[in-house]
Structure 1
Amino acid sequence: MKAVALKLVLRSWWRNKTFSVISIVSLAIGIACTNLLVAFVIYEFNIEADNPNKEKIVYMAQDSPLKSGEIVSYVAGSIPVQLKEKYTEVEDYLRFSSIDCNSVTIGDKQYEPVLITTTDTTFAHFFRYEVLYGDLHDALSAPDKAALSESCARKLFGKTNPVGKIVQIDLADGGMRYENETTPLSRPFQIAAVLKEHPQAYLKFDMLTGNGQDYYGGIALLKVSPSFDKKGFAEKIKADGVPTLQQEKGGYHFYSLQDSYFQRFTQESIPYVARSQSSLLIIGLISALLILLIACSNYINLSFSRVLQQMRIIHTQKLMGATQAEMNYQLFLDTFLTVGIAFLLSLLIAHDLIPVFNRIMSGRITTGFFLNRQVLPFICGLVLILSVIPACYMSRRIANLTDSNYRQFFTGNKKRRIVTALSVMQYIISIGLIIGTLTIYAQLKLTQKKGECYRNLIEIGNWKGGNPDANTFAAELKNRPEIASVTRAGGSILFAWLQQITIENKDGSESYYSSVQYMGEEDLLQTLGLQILQGVTPQEAMRKYDRPVYINRRYADILIPAGENPVGQPVSRYDKFSYGDQANDPQQACTICGIVSDLYINTLEEEAMPSLIYLNNAGAKNYRMLYVKLNEKQKKKGLETIREVWEKANPGEYFTYIDVYDVFMQRNRRTTDMGNLLLMYSVISILLTCFGLFGMALYATEQRTKEIGIRKVNGASTRSILFLLIRQFITWIAVAFVIATPLAWVLLNRWLESFANRVSVSPLYCLLGGIIVLAITLLTVGWHSYRAASGNPVRSLRSE
């Protein structure tokens, strides 16, 4: 009987090749997309899943002294030590910082920069890394020793054991070094250990070394007792007067390791801690489930259609003595084979999509993670549900219906309610995803517009001192056609030091704002693409004022009284921040020469920072940061020119640069990741909907072949028959549009509320969502409908 059932199932598939292929392929795509997102969500929500200390580790943060309501993760180096000594709840501490690396030198070979993290010898008390070679404690106990990650060791030393080898780390200058500084520009490290990387790691590093005696601060983790109360402990140490960056006004905050993984700390760059976005994971998981719903809708709709075509065979089997159990077995076998083949195909699809998915979502999952004990039960459960539920439903229905009753149920007055509901749901999902994609991409365009001043802007700041320096290098680049402009500056634009502005409110309270200051030559504004909204040009300002300074619009909004013109006024009239106690403080002599457009250096979820831009050509000899604007059409050649001039001016020195636009967009990764995710799933949803429409249109035309022939014989035109066939699809889209539009509107507006600079949900995007789905439906359904409507009625009636 089992062999006969298998033969009948395969014959059924062969007779209905189109339905079978569409069912399997659409289900495979749905399962692959769902498994990818579910694996990603499980990966992110179970960071350090195999770490036995995970639940005992808390992350320290404190109130920001630079902006009211913000939290920073920087903790002074002495605070964790003090907490361990004074409070029994704290069992241990672990502090981290980083070393900026320009390049790695081994013998006579130079390699690209690596991520170097410094930490305490208590590292192994918090995180479990398998030591492949050497001794981890030894690597962290001396300032001239280090441990490498396995991937970094392979990159630098191949497959050989690197323990005992020496690497020379060329330190990044950062644009802050002056002629009389004596800090060494490179440091040798002896490799003392190699650590094996593991999935779901909280930390990211290439090289790990010990904190030195001059450790001032960074991020801090505490290992606490099981009874530790995060909120209560924060109140306790505040009452005890534990110092904060805000003195007595500030307080500490504590997060679990998992919560800190999703926490976004503004105005900080912490490269050695992995971060994720909980909102992106939730939206991604919802998108995956919606895609699975579309795939299952196709599967159910087409299964109904295929089973209907087999009704005569099924009833013939019953007449030949087949029992209901045998019929159920055949249906279950059909379903399990369909889902099983779709599942195997989904594994191949997921394997090929993982690199693309990781790039789009900034993920770290691998194919092997699908077999992890965290993911495998879900995948098996999903396959089981997809196999059992449809088979149970169809077997119960078929057992209670005759051939005529089944036709009446599926094609009679009930108008195929199940098929209609599933089809409308598909359209709702597709329209909603398209509206979401268009809106999020509009927000992404706004982000790109705010960062347009950084496009093709290259930052170079790793100088080794001596000659040639930044001035010589800048002179070599000027007047090259592929170089739009060159300017020298006193520091980095995106990695600038922040200072505090204190504003007294009307109720007597104080508000804090982060202020940023830049200094450079008179062509700094031109290179950064800043517009002068009010005031004089840089050239005129240099002639008119001894110490000219531009303020940005945000600075003016916060500090300049309404209706007052600040141009020509000393900046000290508005900015009460004390830069020093000397009477000859240069701040006091600076004159506002104009207001420029805002310069965004962080995410658009925040307002632009109030900024001061000082112009000073006389200080150019100390400017060690170089900004080069490349011509758009000659960007590649421009980079080659910079590299060529660098190698000529700095023989033997490794050349590195920062693409400022890329860094800015990376800081706005939440928008880009969300846009890429929804675009990917919108395309997939439309593709799956097309699969379903193709099968449904084929079935609808086949079932109405006789009706179409009779109508044509009685004088019906091709146009009227065509409209008759596609009318139900248009009705479904109209119903779906009415439901999807308000849902998308509400959800997207809630998401956009988190942005200080945001777009609105345009009615045009909603209309486009409906039009796109309608156009795709007409193209997909129209082809089948036109063939049926324009065919020879005599042939169709004869076949009937």
Structure 2
Amino acid sequence: MKAVALKLVLRSWWRNKTFSIISIVSLAIGIACTNLLAAFVIYEFNIEASNPDKDKIVYMAQDSPMKSGEIVSYIVGQIPIDLKEKYTEVEDYLRFSAINCKSVTIGDKRYEPILITTTDTTFAHFFKYKVLYGDLQDALSAPDKAALSESCARKLFGDANPIGKIVQIDLADGGMRYNDEVIAPSRSFQIAAVLKEYPQSYIRFDMLTGNEQEYHGGIALLKVSASFDKEGFAKKIKTDGVPTLQQEKGSYHFTSLQDSYFQHYTQESIPYIVRSQRSLLLIGLISALLILLIACFNYINLSFSRILQQIRIVHTQKLMGATRSEINSQLFLDTFLTVGIAFLLSLLIAHDLVPAFNRIMSGRITTGFFLNSQVLPFISGLILVLSVIPACYMSRKISNLTDSNYRIFFTGNKKRKIVTALSIIQYVISIGLIIGTLTIHAQLRLVQKKGESYRNLVEIGNWMGGNVNVSTIAAELKDKPGIASITRAGGSILYAWLRQIIIDNKDGSETYHSMVQYMGEESLLKTLDIQILQGVTPEEAIRKYDRPVYINQRYANILVPAGENPVGQPIQQYDKYFDDGTGQSCTICGIVSDIYINTLEEEVMPALIYLSDASAKNFQMLYVKLDEKRKKEGMEAIRTVWEKVNPSEYFTYVDVYAGFMQRNRKTTDMANLLLMYAIISIFLTCFGLFGMALYATEQRTKEIGIRKVNGASTGNIMLLLLRQFAGWIAIAFVIAVPFTWLLLNRWLEGFANRVSVAPIHFLLGGLTVLIITLLTVGWHSYRAASGNPVKSLRSE
């Protein structure tokens, strides 16, 4: 009987092959999208899932001394030690910092920079890395020893055992003077251990070594007792006078390891700790579930097309002696086969999409993670729900349904209401995703506009000093092909020096702002495309003033009284705490446009730009603007000059625009995610429309023939068939607009610099779905309307 049931199912599929293919493919895409996002969300919300001490680890942070209301992760090195010694709630501590690597040398081979993290010998008390070779405690106990990650060891040493091998790290801050001592250009480490990486890790590193004896500060984790109260402990140590960066005004903050994974702190670049975005995960998961809904609605709607045939088959089987259980088994088999094949196909789709998905979402999942004990129950549950519920309903409904009952239910008002409701929901989802995609891409374009001055901008050198002679490189690059402009600067644009601005409020309180400071020669403004809003040109400023400085618009808004012209005034007139370390006065020579270096979620910072003449010797960075049409030639010229001027130095550079966009990854990832799912939703909706249009025209074949015989034109019949779809879209549009508007405004509230939700985006969302629907349904409508009416009448 099982073989007969399978044959009947396959025969039914073959008779309705168009609907069967659409149903299976739609379900496969929906399941693949849902599984991808579900696996990603599970991965991110279960960071360090295999760590037995995860719930006992807390992350330390404190109030920022640079800007009121902000929090920083930097913890002075002695503080975690003092907390462990004085408070029983603290069982252990772990501190992190980093070594700035410029390149790696092994023997006579040089490799690109690696991520070097320094930590305490208590590392193994917090994170459970499997040691493949060597001794981790030995690697962290000696200052000249280190451990490598498995992937880094393979990259540097191949399949050979690296234990005992010497790795020379060329330091990015080599040659810099610190505490009256010049830092050595390189350090040598003996490899003492190799660690196996594991998924869902909180810490990221290529090389791990011990903290220096004079550890000044960095990131700190605490292992605490089960009774630890985060807020209560923060209040206790504040009362006890534990020092902060704000002295007695500041407070410490403690968060769980999982919560800290989703936190981002202003002006911090912490490469050795992995971060994620909670909002991106939630919106992504909702998008995936919406896609799954569309796929399921397609499946339900298209199932109506072959139910009548199934009823007739069931009745025939009853006459042939088939029992109710055998009929139910056949209907169960039909549904399970559909979902099962769709699931297997979804695995192939997901496997192919994982690399692209990881690039879009900055994810770390692998295909193997789908079989992880965290993900497999969800996937299994999803498949069971998609299989069991429809199978139970279909077996109960069809086995009790007569041919006349079918015609009453599935061709009457009740069926139309179900199809209409499901179709409208599909349209609501598609319209909402399109509107969301358009709005978020508008926010992304705003980000790109704010960073436009950085496009094709290359940063060369090291703000910490080093052996790179940027002045010689600048002279060699002059008039080279592909080079639009060159300027020298005293520091990095994206990693500029910050200073605190203190503003006295009328109520006696103080407000802190972070101010960014730059120094460069007169061509700096031109190369960085910074516009002068008021004041004199750089060339005139250097001739006119001994120490000219530009302020940006944000600085003027905060410190300069309204209506007052600050040009020509000393900077100390507006900033009483001003001190650039020289004790000399600076004169404001102009106001320039704001310089955006961080995410647009934050207000732009006030900025000072000091100008120096070309003879100054404190230039450490070189900025090269490449010609848009000859970028490749420009980069080749830079590399050639570098190798000529610095033959012993590894060539490194920074794409400033890419760095700025990376800081705005939240917007970029969200835009890419919604674009991907909007396209998929439209694709699935088209699939469903194709099947529904075919079904609708088949059901109305006789009606179409009668209308044509009575003189109806092709256009009239097409309008008749298209009218109901246009009505559904109109209803869906009315429903989608308020919901989408509320959600988008809620998301945009997180940005200090943001776009508005534009009405044109709503119109484009509805119009896009309408046009796609008309194109998809119109083809079927035209075929039905232009056919021979005699054949249409004979079809019944």
TM-score by length of 1: 0.98
Residue by residue, what CA displacement relative to the aligned partner does 1:373-411 show, whole Å, maximum 9, x if unpaired? 000001011000000111112222223321122122111
Q: Which residue is 2:423 aligned to?
A: 423
Work out whether 1:563 is the aligned partner of 2:563: yes
User: Relative to 1, partners in 2 of residues 1:467 and 1:437: Cα closer, same or farther, differing over 3 Å?
Assistant: closer
Is the 1:335–1:387 Cα contact (8 Å) retained in structure 2? yes
Does the 8 A contact of 1:488 with 1:620 survive in 2?
no
C-alpha distance in structure 2 between counterparts of 1:18 and 1:309, whole Å: 15
Matching of residues 222-237 of structure 1 within 5 Å: 222-237=222-237
Structure 1 residue aligned with 2:792, among 793, 796, 799? Answer: 796
The answer as to whether partners of 2:6 and 2:333 remain within 8 angstroms in 1 is yes
**Alignment equivalent of 2:685, drawn from 677, 689, 705:** 689
What is the letter of the counterpart of residue 583 of structure 2?
D
Aligned mates of 1:373, 1:329 — CA distance in 2: 31
Matches within 5 A, 1:117-136: 117-136=117-136
CA drift at 1:317: 2.2
Q: Percent identity?
A: 80
**Residues 24, 466 of structure 1: alpha-carbon distance in 2 compared, 3 angstrom cutoff:** closer
State the partner residue of 1:300. 300
Aligned to 2:611: 615
Shift of 1:461: 1.3
State the partner residue of 2:583.
585
Equivalent in 635, 658, 662 of residue 658 of structure 2: 662
Secondary structure, in 3 states, of the residue corresponding to 1:600?
coil
- Give the corresponding residue for 1:114: 114
Q: Post-superposition shift, 1:640?
A: 1.0
Shift of 1:319: 2.8
The match for 2:172 is 172
**1:454 aligned residue:** 454
Instruction: Give the conservation status (yes or no) of the 8 Å contact 1:48–1:200.
Output: yes
The alignment partner of 1:315 has SS state of helix
Which residue of the partner structure matches residue 531 of structure 1? 531
Written as runs of structure 1 = structure 2, the 5 A alignment for 1:428-577 is 428-462=428-462, 469-577=469-577
Unpaired runs of 5+ residues, structure 2, are none
Contact 1:175–1:625 (8 Å) recurs in 2: no
Q: In 1, are the aligned partners of 2:176 and 2:464 still within 8 Å (CA)? A: no
Matched pairs, number? 795
Q: Could you tell me how far 1:799 is from its partner in structure 2? A: 2.8
**2:778: which partner in 1?**
782
1:761 and 2:753 matched: no
Distance of 1:550 and 1:462 partners within structure 2: 24
Shift in Å, 1:176: 6.2
1:68 alignment counterpart:
68
Aligned residue type for 1:754:
G
One-letter amino acid of the counterpart of residue 460, structure 1? I
Shift of the 745–534 alpha-carbon distance from structure 1 to 2, 3 Å rule, reads same
Closer/same/farther in 2, CA of residues 267 and 755 from structure 1, 3 Å limit: same
Q: Deviations over 1:717-766 (max 9, x none)?
A: 11111111111111111110000011100100010011000001100000
Aligned to 2:379: 379
Which among 720, 734, 750 is matched to residue 746 of structure 2? 750
Please state how far the C-alpha of 1:181 moved relative to its aligned partner. 6.4
User: 2:629 — aligned with what?
Assistant: 633
Aligned to 1:728: 724
Counterpart residue type for residue 705 of structure 2: G
Corresponding residue for 2:312? 312
Contact 1:66 1:513 in 2 (8 A): yes
Q: Give the aligned partner of residue 5 of structure 2.
A: 5
Q: Separation in 2 of the partners of 1:27 and 1:667?
A: 36
Per-residue deviation, 1:177 = 6.4
Counterpart mapping for 1:193-342 below 5 A: 193-342=193-342
Stretches of structure 1 lacking an aligned partner (at least 5 in a row): none
CA distance in 2 between partners of 1:344 and 1:434 (Å)? 29
Per-residue deviation, residues 567-590 of structure 1 (Å, max 9, x unmatched): 00000100122527x9x702xx20
Separation in 2, partners of 1:760, 1:700: 41
Contact between 2:9 and 2:330, CA under 8 Å: does it hold in 1? yes
Q: CA deviation at 1:684?
A: 0.4
The one-letter code of the counterpart of 2:417 is: R
Q: Give the 3 Å change call, closer, same or farther, for CA 464–732 of structure 1 in structure 2.
A: closer
Question: 1:694 corresponds to which letter in structure 2?
Answer: F
Q: Distance in 1 between matches of 2:29 and 2:734?
A: 28
Contact 2:175 2:467 (8 Å CA) reproduced? no
Give SS of 2:617's match: helix
CA displacement, residues 418-443 of structure 1 (integer Å, 9 cap, x when unaligned): 11111111000000000000000000
Please name the residue that 2:414 is paired with. 414
Instruction: Report the CA distance between 1:259 and its aligned residue.
Output: 0.4
Aligned mates of 2:230, 2:384 — CA distance in 1: 42
CA contact (8 A) 1:176 1:624 kept: no
User: Counterparts of 1:388 and 1:476 in 2: how far apart (Å)?
Assistant: 73
Q: Report the equivalent of 2:182.
A: 182
**Cα distance in structure 1, aligned partners of 2:433 and 2:565:** 48
Q: Secondary structure at the match of 1:296?
A: helix
1:93 equivalent in structure 2 = 93
The Cα RMSD (Å) is 1.5
Q: 1:196–1:375: structure 2 CA closer, same or farther, 3 Å change rule? A: same
Q: Is the 8 A contact 2:745 2:757 kept in 1?
A: yes
Following superposition, the deviation at residue 706 of structure 1 comes to: 1.0
Q: Which residue of 2 aligns with 1:677?
A: 673
Rounded Cα–Cα distance in structure 1 between residues aligned with 2:39 and 2:578: 52
- Rate the CA distance shift 1:465–1:506 in 2: closer, same or farther, 3 A: closer
Q: Distance in 2 between matches of 1:197 and 1:245?
A: 35
Q: Which residue of 1 aligns with 2:191?
A: 191
Matched with 1:79 is: 79
CA distance in 1 between counterparts of 2:701 and 2:503 reads 78
Tell me if structure 1 keeps the 8 A contact 2:84–2:90: yes
| Native 8 Å contact 1:482 1:638 kept in 2 | yes
Please state how far the C-alpha of 1:465 moved relative to its aligned partner. Answer: 7.8
Question: Which residue, 618, 635, 640 being the options, matches 1:644?
Answer: 640
Please state how far the C-alpha of 1:506 moved relative to its aligned partner. 1.7
SS of the aligned residue for 2:616 comes to helix
Measure how far apart 1:460 and its partner are.
0.9
In 1, distance between residues paired with 2:17 and 2:464?
Answer: 70
Once residues 403 and 315 of structure 2 are traced to their aligned partners in structure 1, the CA distance between those partners, rounded to angstroms, is 7
Could you tell me how far apart the structure 2 residues matched to 1:777 and 1:673 are? 29
Correspondence for 1:738: 734
User: Aligned AA for 1:585?
Assistant: G
Contact 1:474 1:487 in 2 (8 A): yes
Letter in 2 for 1:159: D
Question: How big is each residue's C-alpha offset from its partner over 1:265-322, in whole Å with a ceiling of 9 and x where there is no partner?
Answer: 1110000000000000000000010000000001111112222343322322233333
Q: After the TM superposition, which segments of 4 or more aligned residues of structure 1 sit over 3 Å from their partners?
A: 173-178, 462-468
Shift of 1:618: 5.6
Cα offset for 1:85?
Answer: 0.6
SS in 2 for 1:608: coil
The Cα of 1:413 is off from its aligned counterpart by: 3.0
Question: Whole-Å Cα distance in 2 between the matches of residues 614 and 675 of structure 1?
Answer: 37
- Partners of 2:368 and 2:775 lie apart in 1 by 40
Cross-structure match for 2:155: 155
CA distance, structure 1, for counterparts of residue 176 and residue 560 of structure 2: 31
- Alpha-carbon distance in 1 for matches of 2:263, 2:419: 44
What one-letter code is carried by the residue in structure 2 that aligns with 1:426? Answer: Q
Letter in 2 for 1:225: S
Which region of structure 1 is more displaced relative to structure 2, 54-63 or 609-618? 609-618
Q: Deviations over 1:693-720 (max 9, x none)?
A: 0111111111111111111111111111
Alpha-carbon distance in structure 2 between the residues aligned to 1:363 and 1:125? 27
3-state SS, counterpart of residue 413 of structure 2: coil
Amino acid at match of 1:751: W
Q: Check the 8 A contact 2:174/2:465 in 1, yes or no.
A: no
C-alpha separation between the residues in 1 aligned to 2:428 and 2:466? 66
In structure 2, distance between residues paired with 1:182 and 1:515: 28
**Matched residue, 2:590:** 594
> Following the alignment from structure 1 to structure 2, what is the Cα–Cα distance between the partners of residues 457 and 233?
47
Change over 3 Å in CA distance of 1:19–1:485 after alignment to 2: same
